[in-house]
Amino acid sequence: MTTPLGDDRRSVFIQNYQSQRTPWDTGITPPEIVQILQELPPGRALDIGCGTGTNVRYLLEHGWEADGIDFVPQAVETARLKLVAFPPETYRILEYDVTLLEQCDQLRAPYQLVIDIGCGHSFKQAQAAKYARDVADQLAPGGTLMLYAHVHTPERNSGWQPEEVRDLFEPYFSLIWQQVNTDSTVGTLAGWYRMTRKP
């Protein structure tokens, strides 16, 4: 696996998993994802930054095919173990750098649903713009993106302001709704965004 832009960040996440400092890994699928799966017919989904596979498993349980991608080996191995009871042709868990989505030939685009819960929001400027384009390229026209991003503050290095999300993604997506609240795991503002891939 290649991680030309994310080696330092990857090392931090590996250390977090080794020391079990993973407050984001709740083992619970967020209600926003539960709700969207009640609205959409089953298809094929991609979870970017899938961690230990909680949401991939939930997708499979609800009739979807699902792929997950993450660059932390321990998380990927845990996800694969979590999914062994499902037919292998219905999912893929890939260890890969999401800044190189366009190079990952094991992805099964086009997807009807892409989920990013706190992955892309650490990217800045040109890297963030490329990421938004790469995510759009994974989705079928009319497909849905469910994005969760912390709100950037002077005290918090990672995150996007709501207007940054719109600037990054609206060339490719129509924003359906957004909701900004306090993230209970870190105590700072974060937003959910539902978007539809433009034709």
Give pLDDT tens digits for 101-151: 999 999 999 999 999 999 999 899 999 999 999 999 999 999 999 999 999
Under a CB-based contact definition with an 8 Å cutoff, are residues 193 and 175 in contact? yes
Q: How far is the C-alpha of 131 from the C-alpha of 34, rounded, in Å?
A: 25
Distances (CA, A) of 13 to 21, 42, 182: 9, 32, 23
Q: Which domain holds residue 104?
A: 27-114
Token output for 157: 């290095």
Please determine, for residue 187, whether its predicted confidence score (pLDDT) is greater than 80. Answer: no
pLDDT tens column, 164-180: 999 999 999 999 999 99
Max Cα–Cα distance, the chain, nearest Å: 46
Residue 95 β-bridge partners: 70
Please determine, for residue 5, whether its predicted confidence score (pLDDT) is greater than 70. Answer: no
Geometric angle at alpha carbon 126, from 97 and 24, rounded to 5°: 45
Count of H-run helices and E-run strands, the chain: 6, 7
Q: Is residue 16 in a domain?
A: no
pLDDT tens column, 22-74: 555 678 999 999 999 999 999 999 999 999 999 999 999 999 999 999 989 99
Instruction: Look up the CATH number of the domain holding residue 90.
Output: 3.40.50.150
Token output for 156: 């918090």
Q: What is the pLDDT of residue 167?
A: 97
Please determine, for residue 184, whether its predicted confidence score (pLDDT) is greater than 90. Answer: no
pLDDT band at 21 (very low <50, low <70, confident <90, very high): low
Q: Is residue 38 in a domain?
A: yes
Q: Is residue 31 in a domain?
A: yes
Q: Is residue 144 in a domain?
A: no
Q: Is residue 59 in a domain?
A: yes
Total Cβ atoms within 10 A of residue 156: 12
Q: Is residue 180 in a domain?
A: no
Buried b or exposed e, range 75-99, using 16+ CB within 10 angstroms = bbebbbebbeeeeeebbbbbbbbbb
Lowest mean pLDDT among 2-16, 73-87, 178-192: 2-16
Q: What domain count does the chain have?
A: 1
Q: Is residue 35 in a domain?
A: yes
Under a CB-based contact definition with an 8 Å cutoff, are residues 190 and 181 in contact? yes
Q: What pTM value is reported for the model?
A: 0.88
Please determine, for residue 2, whether its predicted confidence score (pLDDT) is greater than 50. Answer: no
Q: How far is the C-alpha of 140 from the C-alpha of 198, rounded, in Å?
A: 9
Amino acid at 98: V
pLDDT band at 4 (very low <50, low <70, confident <90, very high): very low
Under a CB-based contact definition with an 8 Å cutoff, are residues 145 and 162 in contact? no
Q: How far is the C-alpha of 111 from the C-alpha of 120, rounded, in Å?
A: 18
Q: Is residue 87 in a domain?
A: yes
Distance separating the N- and C-terminal Cα atoms of the chain: 32
Residue with tokens 């190189």: 100
